[in-house]
Amino acid sequence: MNTRSYVAMGRRSLLAAGLGATLPLPALAPAWAQATPRAPRSVLATVAMVGDVVREVSGGRIRAETLIGEGVDPHLFRPTRSDIARLLAADAVFANGHRLEGRMGDVLDRVRAAGKPVVLIGESVPRDRLRANPDYPDAADPHLWMDPSLWSLAAAAAAEALSRLAPDSREAFADNLARFQARLARLDAYAREAIGTIPANARVLVTAHDAFAYFGARYGLEVESIQGLSTEAEANLAAIEALVRKLVDRRVPAVFAETSVPDRAVRALIEGAGARGQRVALGGNLFSDAMGKAGTYEGTYEGMIDHNVTIIARALGGRVPPRGLNGRLAA
């Protein structure tokens, strides 16, 4: 906080006391102001899910911004020169890790070399809670935000890291974390209930890339995808053919596109099933590796998961409230 805002606060409190017109403003910061926490620091998060955790836990005490925007695939994201400048200018960088930000390794090394903390919140979750990554034995499946109980652990790690960055705010961060974790527990309970209403034969989630294994394991959905854990490899025709057979055999009513992945291959599935006489709908666009537009409910972690749960359950024949857990989903 700078001197000007101390003065502004001083003016407000004087006005509140009805003395603004008669007393001069204090020229220097009063003693009470000197005891307030030091100026907020800035954190730049790679993906929006991580940025949301930083925002929730810091509660405005630390400026939280996100590098990778709406609809952008983090597996393929390469920072531009101005992105690199932003990364180097932040007081700390928070990322998911487990190679989600697959093409940012060198840049994160540069941030570390510049003496700035790089906090990989996904890598703080105990390894026995995580799923393997067949492409990279040294990393786990990075998509752990799809299970709110795991994301809750990642949020705790973020709170610890933020407390090291701003020790004066440790208690506030702990309070904010507890409130956020309570909301995640409620979200988790909603997801379990909603997915549980899907008829057993249709509990198959078919998506463009393999981002939903944690989600499926948590809520009892079989998960199939056209591409693997990363979007870097091309989808192959044999995989599409095998998925078409499964859709037909199981009479699965819908498949799903993702906002950060082209939907070409998903449409090929729908056409393939149609050619075999099975009508499969496009169930909607899921938020897999990117959240919705900043400033909207779907642009928060809670809204992202609520959106996914609600449209998956509805498209596969389950029963859910029209606008989701909080009545806030876009109609």
- CB closer to Zn ion, 224 vs 289: 289
Angle, CA of 160, 165 and 166, to the nearest 5° = 95
Tokens of 149: 């109980």
- CB closer to Zn ion, 194 vs 211: 211
Residues 200-219 as x/- pattern, contact with Zn ion by CB under 5 A = -----------x--------
- CB closer to Zn ion, 108 vs 211: 211
- Single-letter amino acid code for the residue at 243: L
Would you report the helix, strand and coil content of the chain in percent, each value rounded to 5? 50, 10, 40
- CB closer to Zn ion, 131 vs 186: 131
- CB closer to Zn ion, 180 vs 212: 212
CB of residue 229 to Zn ion, shortest distance in Å? 6
Q: How far apart are CA 23 and CA 13, in angstroms?
A: 12
Choose among 314, 222, 296, 204: nearest CA to 259.
Answer: 296
CB of residue 99 to Zn ion, shortest distance in Å? 10
Task: Centre a 10 Å sphere on the Cβ of residue 306 and count the other Cβ atoms it contains.
Answer: 27
Size of the site for Zn ion (CB under 5 A): 2
CB of residue 225 to Zn ion, shortest distance in Å? 10
Of residues 163 through 192, those in contact with Zn ion by CB under 5 A are none
Tokens of 143: 């998509």
CB of residue 42 to Zn ion, shortest distance in Å? 27
CB of residue 165 to Zn ion, shortest distance in Å? 28
Q: How far apart are CA 228 and CA 141, in angstroms?
A: 10
Of residues 56 through 115, those in contact with Zn ion by CB under 5 A are none
Place of tokens 């403003």: 25
CB of residue 75 to Zn ion, shortest distance in Å? 5
Residues 275-294 as x/- pattern, contact with Zn ion by CB under 5 A = --------------x-----
Task: Centre a 10 Å sphere on the Cβ of residue 271 and count the other Cβ atoms it contains.
Answer: 11
Does 255 participate in binding Zn ion (rule CB under 5 A)? Answer: no
**HSE toward the beta carbon, residue 214, CA cutoff 13 A:** 23
* CA 300 to centroid of chain Cα atoms: 7
CB of residue 177 to Zn ion, shortest distance in Å? 26
CB of residue 142 to Zn ion, shortest distance in Å? 7
Residues 120-159 as x/- pattern, contact with Zn ion by CB under 5 A = ----------------------------------------
- CB closer to Zn ion, 119 vs 211: 211
* Burial grade of 39 (CB within 10 A; 0-12, 13-18, 19 or more): exposed
- CB closer to Zn ion, 92 vs 304: 304
Choose among 60, 244, 267, 245: nearest CA to 166.
Answer: 60
- CB closer to Zn ion, 201 vs 236: 236
Across the beta sheet with 92-95, what order do the strands follow?
A: 63-66, 42-45, 92-95, 118-120
Q: What does the binding site for Zn ion look like in residue numbers (CB under 5 A)?
A: 211, 289
